[in-house]
Amino acid sequence: MANNTLFNLSGKTAVVTGSSRGIGKAIAVRLADYGAKVMVSSRKIDACNLVVEEINGFGGEAHACECNISSKEALQNLADVSIEILGKIDILVLNAASNPYYGPLKDIPDEAFDKIMNNNVKSNLWMANMVLPHMETLGSGRVIVISSIAGITGSPVLGAYSISKTADLGLVRSLATEWGPKNITVNALCPGLIKTDFARALWEDPKTLSKIEANAPLRRIGMPDEVAGAAVLLASESGAFITGQKIVMDGGVTITS
């Protein structure tokens, strides 16, 4: 288990939404690797249990709680169960999101737009409001919202998703301002194209993949663990003076656009 003092999370606890696969799983695994006790959460409890087994298998400590982020009651249950089992919540990673529509904004159904905004923005606010007062009682806390480079660029086919991820950046800045006096940091991570199931439609399309790779200074897309490292930074003492910020990991795509 990693023991570098600056990145040591021993004695800390973390809740990660949408952590049964992809970026969320990578973050949960790395937080546990650096010493945190982790609550793994997603809509599919069997998938969560597999992550728990993986973490416990290398000597970490993890637990699972089923949660559909579209339900305020389910989020409250996740917060309550996490505090009950872990004893406290030091780190909250808001990773779960959805994108049921791929196409121009002029054709998006109201139902799809509402689902994207509710799951990607409102649910983050709900969960933050449930956990931040608890963090205040602890005297400190770390909140990490997984946004996207879609939140800082435009897209002809991911417009609603882009709007939601832009809104998440505003949410981060506002929460950081509101809770900073309580010694709580709030930051965002903005991944580019990462090789996950969530983004499979993009990286499995040869034309899309080759275009992104050609435009990226690193000439490749990212892996989930390359997002997890930044999460460890923000969750640990190394990131204690960082708040209200966004960290971009995109292979350099946004600097060459």
161 with 99: CB under 8 angstroms? yes
Strand order in the sheet with 141-146: 61-66, 37-42, 13-16, 91-94, 141-146, 184-191, 246-249
Rounded CA-CA distance 212/193 in Å is: 8
Give the three-class secondary structure for 157.
coil
pLDDT digit string (tens) for 153-181?
A: 999 999 999 999 999 999 999 999 999 99
Residue 45: C-alpha distances to residues 39, 140, 155, 224 (Å) = 12, 30, 33, 21
Q: What is residue 4's predicted lDDT score, i.e. its pLDDT?
A: 58
Q: What is residue 74's predicted lDDT score, i.e. its pLDDT?
A: 98
Burial class (CB in 10 A: 0-12, 13-18, 19+), 179: buried
Long-range contacts of 237-242 (CB under 8 A, 24+ apart): 237/5, 237/6, 237/7, 237/8, 238/6, 238/7, 239/142, 239/185, 239/187, 240/185, 242/185, 242/187
Q: Which tokens in the block code for residue 59?
A: 């000597």
Q: What is residue 255's predicted lDDT score, i.e. its pLDDT?
A: 93
DSSP code, position 160: H
Task: Reply yes or no on whether 161 is catalytic.
Answer: yes
pTM: 0.95
Parse the chain into domains and list their residue ranges. 5-196+223-246
Per annotation, catalytic residue among 34, 101, 102, 161: 161
Q: Does domain 5-196+223-246 have CATH number 3.40.50.720?
A: yes
DSSP code, position 220: S
Of 33, 52, 37, 40, nearest to 16 (Cα)? 40
> What's the CA dihedral at 10, 15, 20, 24 to 10 degrees?
-80
What parts of the chain have a pLDDT lower than 50? none
Rounded CA-CA distance 39/106 in Å is: 39
Q: Where are the beta strands (DSSP E) in the chain?
A: 13-16, 37-42, 61-66, 91-94, 141-146, 184-191, 246-249
